[in-house]
Amino acid sequence: MTTHPQMYEGIFNKSTIRFLTVLIVVALAVPLLNALDSSNPLHVSTYTMTLMGKYLCYALLAVAVDLVWGYLGILSLGHAAFFALGGYAMGMYLMRQIGDRGVYGDPLLPDFMVFLNWQELPWFWYGFDQFWFAALMIVLVPGLLAFVFGWLAFRSRVTGVYLSIITQALTYALLLAFFRNEMGFGGNNGLTDFKDILGFDLQSDATRMALYVASAIALGLGYIACRMIVTSRLGRVAVAIRDAEARTRFIGYKVENVKLFIFVVSAVLAGVAGALYVPQVGIINPSEFSPLNSIELVVWVALGGRATLYGAVVGAVAVNYAKTYLTAAMPEIWLFSLGAMFVLVTLFLPKGVMGILQRERPDNDDSDGNNLDNGNDLDNCGVKA
């Protein structure tokens, strides 16, 4: 590190720049290669592109988790909930877009309402025919939930494992709620059979390409936003809270507000990720709320390396690629390899995959990189004075 008085790395430190360049290259290259005709050896199939689009959404989600867990020490086992809520907001918009092209040709009601003979559209479905409204909800609903939940939890100083478990309770409750058909979200089948978005056919390669690029951009922006936060003084306050919450209070920081702010930001990012995910996979249903999903995405982050942001991205992509590959290559026993992967990484790469790179490059100026050994995430009440 330099001895220059202002010795904090800026937003764009080496790793960030490295990451963004890779992202931009991928974001541009894939669509171009996809445009090539399929005979060309370099051709990237639409399948692969949609797949990567999906990974990018997961990556953004992972970044959101890393922000609260890596830097703030809040282990949220409920982030899938925010992801799914964003997804549902988008799904509802896409449902409304179908209009009278549903199998029953009902101009207003989505198919699942027609054959469960609902009479009129539930109030909470109003407005979703407008994209701007849907977009607003994508940000607002997860954000609002995170705000209310966080406001309750942080103000009453619920910390550590207790916080983790009630986040899990939150997503579990939502899971059960969305399974109920009375809720009007399509029950177990969820929302599916989407036709088009903003008037563009969802099945056309062009739209897919656009969505892919959009996901890449969202990831890039989300990443930069997180960097802005973690490199700001607020970011350092966050780390301070993670390591010694009480101490941070005694030097005059309103810990609960800091937590709330970052938690909400993270939730919004997750929501956006979900919203981009849905049109690319073509379905949103309650199983996205499943607590196991939330745990799994924590695993992505840990696998990539906590509190590095790019580690989260690497983890998300790695695990999901492994899944895609293994479920086809060794369908009967892929869980063995995945499970083994988790165990081995935790045992031998406590800093995640990125940990290796850091060891290789001591010059890496990412000052946040070294706070992984700190164990008291679960009892991050710091001072026992």
Partner 1 sequence: MRLIEEFQHRDKVFDFMMPNTSPALDVGQGYLLYLEDISVSFDGFKAINKLNLYINEGELRCIIGPNGAGKTTMMDIITGKTRPDEGSAWFGQKINLLEMSEPEIAQAGIGRKFQKPTVFEQQTVFANLELAMTGPKGVFTTLMAKLSSSQLDHIDHVLGQIGLKQQRNLLAGALSHGQKQWLEIGMLLMQNPKLLLVDEPVAGMTHQEMDRTGELLTSLAGEHTVILVEHDMDFVRSLANQVTVLHQGSVLAEGTMDQVQSDDKVVQVYLGE
Partner 2 sequence: MCTPGLMAPRGAILFPFSGSGGLQMLLRVLWVSLLLGFGLATSIARADSFEQGLEQLKSKDFSHIEQGIAAIASSGNANTELVLNLLLNGELYRLKKTDELVVVQGKQDKKLIIVNLFDDSGASAQTVSKRKIKKVRINNNIRASLKAALASLKLSAAEPEQRRQAVNQLIGKLTPELYQTLSQRLDVESDSSVQELIAVALAVTDLNSADSDSAVQQTAVATLSDSLQPAARNALAQFVETTDNAILKSQASKGLRSIDEKRKWAGHAETLFFGLSLGSVLVLAAIGLAITFGVMGVINMAHGELIMLGAYTTYVVQLLMPDNIALSILVSIPAAFLVSAFVGILIERGVIRFLYGRPLETLLATFGISLILQQAVRSIFSPLNRSVATPEFMSGVIEINPVLSLTLNRLYIIAFCLIVFALLFMLLRYTRLGIEVRAVAQNRAMARAMGVRSEWVDAMTFGLGSGIAGVAGVALSQLTNVGPNLGQAYIIDSFMVVVFGGVGNLWGTLVAGLSLGVANKIMEPWAGAVLAKILVLVFIILFIQKRPRGLFPQKGRSAEG
Partner 3 sequence: MNLKKLMLAAAIAGSMSAGSVMADEDTIKVGVLHSLSGTMAISETTLKDTMLMLIDEQNKKGGLLGKKLEAVVVDPASNWPLFAEKARELIEKKDVDAVFGCWTSVSRKSVLPVFEELDSLLFYPVQYEGEESSKNVFYTGAAPNQQAIPAVDYLMDQGVKRWVLAGTDYVYPRTTNKILEAYLKDKGVPASDIMINYTPFGHSDWQSIVSDIKKFGSKGKKTAVVSTINGDANVPFYKELGNQGISADEIPVVAFSVGEEELSGIDTKPLVGHLAAWNYFMSVESDVNEEFIEAWHAFIKDEDRVTNDPMEAHYIGFNMWVEAVKKAGTTDPSVVGDALIGVAVPNLTGGYSAMMPNHHITKPVLIGEIQDDGQFETVWKTSGLVAGDAWSDFLPGSKDLISDWRAPLSCGNYNVKTSKCSGQNY
Q: What gap in Å lies between CA 146 and CA 112, rounded to an integer?
A: 29
**Contact status: 346 vs partner 2 (CB under 8 A):** yes
Question: Where are the strands (E) in the chain, listed by range?
Answer: 191-192, 196-197, 200-201, 283-284
What distances in angstroms separate CA 12 from CA 224, 226, 371, one per listed residue? 8, 11, 20
117 binds partner 3 (CB under 8 A): yes
Question: Taking CB under 8 A as the rule, which mask of x and - marks residues 264-303 in contact with partner 1?
Answer: x---x-----------------------------------
Q: Which residue do the tokens 């877009």 mark? A: 97
Identified binder of partner 3 from the candidate list 14, 18, 101, 359, rule CB under 8 A: 101
The residue among 91 and 271 lying less far from partner 1, judged by its C-beta, is 271
- Segment lying near partner 3 (by CB under 8 A), choices 142-150, 163-171, 324-332, 375-383: 324-332
Site track 232-271 with partner 1 (rule: CB under 8 A), x = hit: xxx-xx-xx-xxx-xxxxxxxxxx-xx-xx--x---x---
Shortest distance, position 198 Cβ to partner 1, whole Å: 24
Binding residues for partner 2 restricted to 154-193, rule: CB under 8 A? 156-162, 165-166, 168-170, 172-173, 176-177, 179-180
Furthest C-alpha separation in the chain: 71
Q: Does 112 bind partner 3 (CB under 8 A)?
A: yes
- Only segment of 12-20, 40-48, 60-68, 330-338 that touches partner 2 (CB under 8 A): 330-338
Q: Which residue has the tokens 């390669």?
A: 205
Question: What sign results for the dihedral spanned by CA atoms 157, 235, 348, 270?
Answer: positive
How many residues sit close enough to partner 1 to count as binding (CB under 8 A)? 46
Mask for 2-41, x = binds partner 3 (CB under 8 A): ----------------------------------------
* Window 215-244: residues binding partner 3 (CB under 8 A): none
Q: Please name the amino acid found at residue 131.
A: F
116 binds partner 3 (CB under 8 A): yes
Cα–Cα–Cα angle for 167, 171, 173, nearest 5°?
110
Phi, psi angle pair for 12, to nearest 5°: -100, 75
Measured at the CA of 336, the angle between CA 330 and CA 340, to 5 degrees, comes to: 130
CA 298 to chain centre: 10
Q: How far is the CB of 53 from partner 3 (least distance, A)?
A: 11
What are the distances in angstroms from CA 43 to CA 137, 206, 363?
Answer: 37, 15, 38
Tokens of 242: 């993670």
Computed over its alpha carbons, how large is the radius of gyration of the chain? 21
Query: What backbone torsions phi and psi does residue 323 show, to the nearest 5 degrees?
Result: -60, -55
Q: Which of 377, 360, 358, 361 has the alpha carbon at shortest distance from 369? A: 358
In the shown chain, the binding pattern of residues 119 to 148 toward partner 1, with x for contact by CB under 8 A and - for none, equals --------------------xx--xx--x-
Residues 1-30 within binding reach of partner 1 (CB under 8 A): 1, 3, 5-8
- One DSSP character per residue, 233-265 reads HHHHHHHHHHH-HHHHHHTT--HHHHHHHHHHH
- Write the Ramachandran bin of 252: left for phi over 0, alpha for psi from -120 to 50, otherwise beta: left
Positions 354 through 383 that interact with partner 1 (CB under 8 A): 367, 370-371, 374, 382-383
Applying CB under 8 A, the residues found at the interface with partner 1 are: 1, 3, 5-8, 139-140, 143-144, 147, 229, 232-234, 236-237, 239-240, 242-244, 246-255, 257-258, 260-261, 264, 268, 367, 370-371, 374, 382-385
Applying CB under 8 A, the residues found at the interface with partner 2 are: 75, 149, 152-153, 156-162, 165-166, 168-170, 172-173, 176-177, 179-180, 291-292, 295-296, 298-299, 302-303, 332-333, 335-336, 338-343, 345-347, 350, 375, 377-379, 381, 384
